Every structure is written in structure tokens, then in C-alpha cells.
Amino acid sequence: MTATELKNHPIVARLAQVQSSLGLKDIPFAKQLRLGIHGANWGKILAGTYDGSFSKVIAKLEVALEAYDNPGSGETEEGIVILRHVREAIDAMKIARAAEDEHRLVVMAGLRGSGKSRAMSLVAHQFPGWQMEALPSWSGGYLNFLNKFAAGVGVARHLSAGDAETAILDSLTTNPRPIYIDEFNYFSPAGINFLKAVLNKTGCPIMVSTIPHFLSRMASDTRTAQESAQLLRRAVAIIHIPAVTEREVIQIQRALFPDLDIAGTAAGEIAKSANRHSRLDSVVAILRDADSAADIPTSILRHERGSKVTLKPGED
């Protein structure tokens, strides 16, 4: 086999079609489909310049394509479909709970409607602990933040920041349960720094969810760059929830709407619409609205017309 023959191999051609439908560049695509090779090498395959072992790379690509084309029956728990990022979140929390040092942080980043909160709620169901949802007010004064955090972990309010910090850390040291924080993007620089103290001084694993832009802002803002870098070094996993794929649409359909029995083409169209709007929320809305598999195109149109907000690439 030559590099040109590899480029034109049916498996490569099918994966290239999937990549085109997802609109992903080589490196994100290789990561999302778990090709087993670096995205740069995937790019070389497409360009006909790959010079590695053809038989080994075809075997890896075949496994990845088989996993993509055969999503299974759609496993659910607590009404939540076990998609890849959900499984990754569960596995990451298992690792965080077993850690013997400060590396007990799990971060989930995804756009609106991508399933962050649902995934976190399932992890919290499996590993019960303190659950809290940060609010815009949490980014204000530090004492206000500490008292909000204290309430979330069952600790009384205090009149000074020092007393609040001590009370929270003492309580969590005595009872080191998992802590789940939704809307982490409302944390101030001081709040981010306090999470480091929780990880350093208690045995609590922490899972937070946020939007991708917040992670980028944390790293670039001079007020938070150093603190955020130190915090994220304590992470056992940073899970970026990717664009919706055909595979995930089919998993959701089989799990929640088994009577529809949609084909791959319809799943691809649903995924495209979902990625323009509200991600997994859009998938469920479109499938719920369809009377039959034949009604999917009309359901997509109804969803498109009824969506007041359209996400552009990179928006959050």
C-alpha cells in the first residue's frame, strides 16, 4: 500500500466524511473520535504524505470508525444518557476520590445546552456530596462569596473572612465529601484561590462546570492567570464537551425515543442543527417534537424557526 492508496482507503474516506460533517480541524477531530493517532498524522494521511506503518494505522482507524458507527443501544441512568463526556466525568471523579494528594479537581467545560449540569448531577448521584450552583453575586465581595460557599457545604455564616475560611476548612476536613459546583464561571479570583485551599487542606474531591470562554479568560487575565494555572494543575481531568455528533444523536434517540429509529443521514442533520443552537438540548427537542422518523426534517425546521438564540462557532 502507498500513501496515496491509504488516503483513498474506504475507512479513511468515511472518516474524512465524518470530519467534514462535524466541521472539525484535524487535531480536534482526532481527539474527539479517538483515532489513536495524533491529529497531525491524520492530516498527513489526508494529504497522502503519511510515512508510518499503514497496517497499524488502518487498524486503529477501523476501531475508531466502528465505535462511531455503532453507538450501542443508548445506556441511561437516572434518565440521563451515558454519552462519552458523562462516562469520562464519572471515571474522573473515581480517580479524584481515590487521590491521596491535592490532585482531586475535575473540570467540565461546554457551551450552553451541552449537558454539563446533567452529567454533574449523575456523578453526584453516584458519589453523593455537597451540590451548589454559583450565581453572579458570587463574583462580588470575598466575604459574601465565603458565606455563600459556607451555606453550600452546611456551614453557618460568619462576620469575617478569616472566621469563614477556618470554619469551612475545618468542617470539610472533618467530613471530606465531594463538592459539585455548577456555573464555576461566577467565581472571582479570590474564590478561585480559595478552591486551592480546599484541595490543599481537605480530602474533598471537587467537580466544577463552566463555559470554555471562562477557562480561556482565567488563563489570560492578569488577575487570575497565576491562580488559575495553580488551580488547574490540581485537576485530574479537564473534560471539554465537544460538538454533537451523529453517534450521540443516535445514542439519545435509542435511549429516549426508541420508536423513531432514525437513519444516519437524519442523525447528521439533527447534529448540525443542534450545533447551531443549543447542543444536546436541541437534539432532545427535535426528537421529542418528531411524530416519526419521516417527520425529522420538519421537526428540525420547526426547531430552527423557534430558536431565539443561534450560537455561532466559538460562542458560549
pLDDT band at residue 311, thresholds of 50, 70 and 90?
Answer: very low
pLDDT for the residue 316: 39
pLDDT for the residue 313: 39
Buried b (16+ CB within 10 A) or exposed e, 110-142: bbebbbbbbbbebbbeebebbbbebeeebbeeb
pLDDT in tens, 251-263: 899 899 988 888 7
- What is the rounded radius of gyration, in angstroms, for the C-alpha atoms of the chain? 22
pLDDT for the residue 312: 40
pLDDT band at residue 315, thresholds of 50, 70 and 90?
Answer: very low
Spatial distance between the Cα atoms of 289 and 194, rounded to a whole number of angstroms: 45
pLDDT for the residue 72: 63
pLDDT band at residue 216, thresholds of 50, 70 and 90?
Answer: confident
| pLDDT, average across residues 13-35 | 87
What is the grid cell recorded at 83?
454519552
pLDDT for the residue 225: 79
Measured from the Cβ of residue 40, the count of other Cβ atoms closer than 10 Å reads 10
CA dist 108 → 90, 111, 123, 207 (Å): 11, 10, 12, 8
What does DSSP say about strands 80-81 and 76-77: parallel, antiparallel, or unpaired?
antiparallel
Mean pLDDT across the chain: 89
Buried b (16+ CB within 10 A) or exposed e, 213-235: ebbeebeeeeebeebbeebeebb
135 phi and psi angles, rounded to 5 deg: -125, 165
pLDDT for the residue 86: 93
Closest CA to 66 of 24, 14, 5: 14
CB 231 within 8 A of CB 106: no
CB 229 within 8 A of CB 204: no
CB 241 within 8 A of CB 114: yes
pLDDT in tens, 111-125: 988 999 999 999 999
Taking each helix axis as running N to C, give the angle between helix 264-276 and helix 279-289, from 0 to 180 degrees, rounded to the nearest 10: 130
pLDDT band at residue 102, thresholds of 50, 70 and 90?
Answer: very high
Contacts (Cβ under 8 Å, ≥6 apart) of 307: 277, 278, 282
Considering only 106-115, 178-187, 239-248, 279-288, which range has the smallest mean pLDDT?
239-248
Through-space distance between the first and last CA atoms of the chain, rounded to whole angstroms: 44
pLDDT for the residue 71: 65
